[in-house]
Amino acid sequence: MKGLFTRNRLIGLVLAAIVAIIDQAVKWYVVGPLALRQVGSIDLLPFFDLTYTENRGVSLGMFQATDMETRWALVLLTAVIALVVLVWMMREKVLADIIGLALILGGAIGNIRDRYDLGYVIDYADFHIGDFRPFLIFNIADAAITIGVLIILARSLFVRDKEETETGDAPRGEPNDA
């Protein structure tokens, strides 16, 4: 257990907690002081509004929780996924991988808390170009999850093979000729 909480992993745990806390704080502000639930929408910039939405589904609004059983099934499913991400993060050593996983974990925790407490996830960030909306309305947790996934994908596609080749290790699945 001595090597479990390395400096990089502790950074990851702290980052995940910070993401979850910021996500929940912004959702509180949007629903509380801004009263976005009652107002509906606030125009901020020509391309960005705050628009209150209750997302009862998961990614891209799929798997809508229309009853209590589905709600709790989604809470359980997303909690299991978050646990898998936590275990994965605690096994990683490279800080960049840990940061990507921490962003995913922190975002998942923020959205799980909403779904557990409210039965839906509060979304409010509405990026648009005129009437064209390249994204669904989202929140900080969603953005953190997306950025974390992009980091993991980029590192797995572009960085790992290069690192293995530079250190003289054979790429995965190929024996060393040495």
pTM of the model: 0.82
123 catalytic? Reply is yes
Write down the pLDDT at residue 136. Answer: 84
What is residue 178's predicted lDDT score, i.e. its pLDDT?
A: 42
Q: For residues 128 and 146, give the distance between their C-alpha atoms in angstroms, rounded to a whole number.
A: 18
User: Residue 173: phi, psi to the nearest 5?
Assistant: 90, -5
CB neighbour burial string for 88-110, b if at least 16 within 10 angstroms, e if fewer: ebeebeeeebbbbbbbbbbbbbb
Annotated catalytic residue within 142, 161, 169, 177: 142
Could you confirm whether 142 is annotated as catalytic?
yes
Please report which confidence band the pLDDT of residue 146 belongs to, taking 50, 70 and 90 as the band edges. Answer: very high
- 67, 123, 126, 161: which one is catalytic? 123
Give the pLDDT confidence score for residue 131 in this predicted structure: 82
- Can you give the residue ranges of every domain in the chain? 7-165
In this predicted model, what pLDDT tens digit does every residue of 4-50 receive, in sequence order? 789 999 999 999 999 999 999 999 999 999 999 999 899 999 999 99
